[in-house]
A = this chain, B = another copy of it.
Amino acid sequence: MSRKSKGINAERELIHLFWANGWSACRVAGSGSTKYPSPDVLAGNNVRKLAIECKVTKDIRQYFTAKEIHELQQFSKIFGAEPWVGVKFNNVDWYFLTMEDLGGTGEGHSVTLKNAKMKGFMFKELVGTLQGTW
C-alpha cells in the first residue's frame, strides 16, 4: 500500500473513532494541495472543534514541517478550532500533541514515540472521555 493510501486509511480510522465517540468528523479535501491552509481532519461537538494534522509512521519518529504547523495554526485560529497534531505509530496507537508539546527543531518539528508517550494524549484523553492521571 502506498504511503498516501496508508495516510488516508489512518485518517478514515480516526474519523470512525470520532463518530463512535459521539463526535462529527470529516477528512478535508485537497489538504496540502490547495492555496489555503487546511488540516487533514476536522472534528467537532457542541463544545469543541479540533483541527488535526495527521501522520502515520512505521518509524519511532515523525517529522512535521514548519509550513505544516504554521498553516495548521493559521487555519485553526481563523476557524475557531484547537490545533492538534496526530501521529499513528504503527502497531502502537494514535498520539495527539498540542502545539506547545511539539518538540521543536530548527526548521520543523519532530515527534518521537518516547515524547508522544510522555506528553501526548491518547484518543480517549483527546476527546475527554478518559480522565488523565496527571
Q: Which of A49-68 contact B (CB under 8 A)?
A: 49
- In the complex, what's the smallest C-beta–C-beta distance from A16 to chain B, in angstroms? 8
**A44: which B residues are within 8 A, CB to CB?**
49, 78-81
A residues 14-32 touching B (CB-CB < 8 Å): 15, 19, 22-31
A46 touches B (CB below 8 Å): yes
Contacts of A36 in B (CB 8 A): 15, 19, 24-26
Return A32 CB to nearest CB of chain B, in Å. Answer: 12
Chain A interface residue count, CB cutoff 8 Å, equals 31
A-B complex: 3 closest residue pairs judged by Cβ atoms:
A24-B79, A27-B29, A44-B79
Distance, CA A104 to CA B94, complexed state (A): 44
Contact indicator A26/B29 (Cβ below 8 Å): yes
Name 27 interchain pairs, CB-CB below 8 A, sorted by A: A15-B36, A19-B36, A23-B79, A24-B36, A24-B37, A24-B75, A24-B79, A25-B36, A26-B36, A26-B38, A26-B39, A26-B42, A27-B29, A27-B30, A29-B29, A29-B30, A42-B42, A43-B79, A44-B78, A45-B78, A45-B79, A45-B80, A46-B78, A47-B80, A49-B49, A49-B79, A49-B80
Within the complex, the shortest CB–CB distance from A49 to chain B, in Å, comes to: 7
